[in-house]
Structure 1
Amino acid sequence: MNINVSEFKANCLELIDEVATTHEPLVIGKRGKPLVKLVPIVDETPKSMFGYMKGTVTIHGDILVPQDELWSAESGDEDDLYAGLRPGEGKK
């Protein structure tokens, strides 16, 4: 948002509060020429990565029991992928 210096002077406290709440910068000018920019202070302390996604996941149904689907580990249909990887297997 752009504003004239005389208007800023008359409403500076309200404009400062608005910039602080909306986080939108305010450009203050004189005679149509931009002079300064009023921006909110950003908290620069690093936030902990622990729990930063709290509340962003929705769980639908039971997550512990597979739904009518047999896992490959239970059915053995991928055993050929692991052939020769067990200790003592494939050695002569």
Structure 2
Amino acid sequence: MQTVNIHDAKTHLSRLVEQAARGEPFVIAKAGKPLVKVVPLSAPEAGQTRRLGFLAGQIAVPDDFDRMGAGDIEAMFGGDA
């Protein structure tokens, strides 16, 4: 694995990021001491992505959902509920 000093990493960041994205991780070091390892992020596999509506038909939301507990909340903030 390639080790790059911090100055060179700043100078060649675009090239190094492209290299890491292709699956070639590298280490950034300062004064010869390794600080961080740059590795590519992998795309989520099928089944890992979240999607809207995944509980459709499995739960029910009451019609007054946006008003539930309104009296209690108003009382907590000094209202006359």
TM-score under structure 2 length normalisation? 0.52
Task: Say which one has the larger Rg.
Answer: 1
Q: Structure 2: any 5+ residue segments left out of the alignment?
A: 48-81
Instruction: Please list every run of at least 4 consecutive aligned residues from structure 1 whose deviation after the TM superposition is greater than 6 angstroms.
Output: none
Pairing 1:9-88 to 2, within 5 Å after superposition: 9-21=10-22, 23-46=23-46
Identity among equivalent positions (%) equals 37
Q: Structure 1: any 5+ residue segments left out of the alignment?
A: 48-92
Deviation at 1:32, TM superposition (A): 0.5
Equivalent residue letter for 1:37: K
| 1:42-81 residue CA offsets vs partner (Å, 9 max, x unmatched) | 123237xxxxxxxxxxxxxxxxxxxxxxxxxxxxxxxxxx
Equivalent residue letter for 1:18: Q
Give the root-mean-square deviation of aligned CA atoms. Answer: 1.4
Equivalent residue letter for 1:25: P
Deviation at 1:30, TM superposition (A): 0.1
Deviation at 1:6, TM superposition (A): 0.3
The structure showing larger relative contact order (alpha-carbon pairs under 8 Å, at least 6 residues apart) is: 2
- Judge conservation of contact 2:20–2:39 (CA < 8 Å) in 1: yes
Residue correspondences, number: 46
